[in-house]
Amino acid sequence: MSGPVAGRISFCVTCKNRLWQLRRTLPENLERAEADGNAEVVLVNYDSRDGMDEWVRTFRPHIERGLLRYLHLRDAPHFHMSKAKNLAHFGATGEFLVNVDADNFIGDTVPAWRAQWARAYDTLIHGFVAETDKGQVGERDGLPAEGNGTSGRIGLPRRHFMALGGYDEEMLPMSQQDVDLIDRARASGLAVVRLPQPGRASIPNSIEDKLRDTGLPFGWEEMRRHNLERRRENLRLGRLTANPGRVPVRVLVDFTRETEI
């Protein structure tokens, strides 16, 4: 890719063994991307073993029209949230990058997000659902609001995501990576704006669902404590750019070509 496509929003989705959720969210999210007219969904198959690859082949027309960009990582037995999200974001083609978890719907958010970036380009947008969000992220140390499941809805201009180095891959596989990115963005001078999402936003899942493929014996609370300390340390040391020595990984793009991202 020679450079990002001007004005394009890339909705970055990662999934490992969650096809049951993706079956419900991806078709609708592709419709939202198509309706916008300058958007794509970037989907990372993080070595899923539940038939995702075969199912995504039914969306080849969307791939051919540039609505879906499919990255298949085939040698990752264990899921790591920061690494998976970085792969989706680094492999996107848009000027704006928005994280959308596999269990989340884009919904009717795109016009408001575009309007916000038109008003103030150097902005990180954090989406949320007003009905279930009981506190500002950061004030509650990154704990998800009860029943929410949307705390990872983060979007920002590509150049700022790259300057921040993406999500911190030195964290344990789950918890705090979203809030850490927000912390570092704010400390780097970006404005942070929270925009609500009306209507259905996500498919509920359990903590067990989140931890199932991490390959570690740690529980959610232990991961949270460890990553919270890492997050605080990043700010204390002024470590605002993550992953300075990140090594690209090889993926299959759109079923046709291999590349390193």
Residue 31 sits at φ, ψ, to 5 deg, of -60, -40
In angstroms, the CA 180 to CA 141 distance is: 10
Q: Could you state, in order of their start, the residue ranges of all structural domains in the chain?
A: 5-239
User: Per the structure block, which two tokens stand in for 185?
Assistant: 């963005």
Domain 5-239 fold: Spore Coat Polysaccharide Biosynthesis Protein SpsA; Chain A (3.90.550)
**pLDDT at residue 212, as a whole number:** 86
pLDDT of 147 reads: 45
CA–CA dist 215, 173 (Å, integer): 9
Task: Report the distance separating Cα 71 and Cα 42, nearest Å.
Answer: 7
| pLDDT for the residue numbered 129 | 72
DSSP symbols for the chain: --SPEEEEEEEEEEESS-HHHHHHHHHHHHHHHHHHSSEEEEEEEES--SSHHHHHGGGHHHHHTTSEEEEEE-S-SS--HHHHHHHHHHT--EEEEEE--TTB---TTHHHHHHHHHH-SSEEEEEE-TTT--S-TTTTTTPPPTTT--TT-EEEEHHHHHHHTSS-TTS-SSSSHHHHHHHHHHHTT-EEEEEE--S--B----HHHHHTTS--S--HHHHHHHHHHHHHHHHHTT--S--TTPPP-EEEETTTEEEE-
Written as tens digits, the pLDDT of the chain (261 aa) is: 678 999 999 999 999 999 999 999 999 999 999 999 999 999 999 999 999 999 999 999 999 999 999 999 999 999 999 999 999 999 999 999 999 999 999 999 999 999 999 999 999 999 987 655 444 443 433 334 444 567 789 999 999 999 999 999 999 999 999 999 999 999 999 999 999 888 788 888 777 877 888 988 888 899 999 999 999 999 999 999 999 999 999 999 999 999 999
Which pLDDT score is estimated for 148? 57
d(CA 43, CA 120): 28
**H or E element that contains 81:** helix 81-90
- pLDDT at position 34 is 98
d(CA 159, CA 180): 18
pLDDT value for 1: 60
**Is-contact 23 53, C-beta < 8 A?**
no
